[in-house]
Amino acid sequence: MRPMRTPILSLTLLAMALVAGTARAGEIIGKVKYAGAAPAPKKLAVTKDQAICGKVEHLEEFLLVGADKGVRNVVVSLTDPKDGKKMTVPPKNPAIDQNGCRFVPRIQIIPAGASVDIVNSDGILHNIHTWSKDNTAFNKAQPKFKKVMTEKFDKPEIFRISCDVHSWMNGWLVVAGHPYYALSDNAGTFKIADVPAGSYTLEYWHEKLGKQTKQVTVPATGSVTADFEYAAK
């Protein structure tokens, strides 16, 4: 009896299928810019707990524009993902640190269903106030002896957080229902990786400049550039 041989053609087709199956995702890259001259951030008055809060300079951070007009802290996301994929909940809780009487980071993207550690590194009284609508809003004191409070957020939305004790403390939490999100960096650049090929609506959200959308077509391999410019305000 002759030994069975796998036809070379079959192996070639199998290899092509495997390659095709892993090459159907591209990436979206881009830069968000601001038209016109951006105002210089104003200095904020520290009116309480000077010994702790006054250790660092506090500036308005709701519109941060670089020298080349790149806009920082723009949330870029797909409004219509087609694969139903969820953002993976990390094994370690993401954290919001109250450090120097400011929220660090100011804006953070977390997966829906994740728990967040709210850390009090200042060792003074803070008060966490969430302005969420889809998730249950809360307003809780965090005295100096309570180093960490943990809260869970299940529903996708973007909402503001503040401290009622220190009025200048503001931040944002982005609860993401899928992994196709990015936050623009200091230069205004962003990247969303591993996006299935297809046409989508890309959304740009900024706390001061608002929400805008743009159509984008993602290739099966490689990248598509989706630059955007906000009008001056």
Q: Which of 175, 223, 200 is nearest to 81 (CA)?
A: 200
- What pLDDT does residue 233 have? 80
> pLDDT grade, residue 106 (50/70/90)?
very high
Handedness of CA 92, 94, 98, 104 (dihedral sign): positive
The string of DSSP codes covering 124-149 is S-EEEEE--SSSPP-EEEE-TT--EE
Q: Which fold has domain 25-230?
A: Immunoglobulin-like (2.60.40)
How far apart CA 69 and CA 35 sit, in angstroms, is 7
DSSP state for residue 153 in the 8-state scheme = E
Q: Is the pTM of this model over 0.85?
A: yes
- What pLDDT does residue 175 have? 98
**What share of the chain has pLDDT > 70, as a percent?**
90
Sheet holding 75-78, edge to edge: 181-183, 75-78, 198-206, 210-218
Q: Which of 141, 151, 138 is nearest to 93 (CA)?
A: 151
Task: Please check the confidence at residue 6 and state whether its pLDDT lies above 80.
Answer: no
Residue 199 or residue 12, greater confidence:
199
Tally: H helices and E strands in the chain: 2, 17
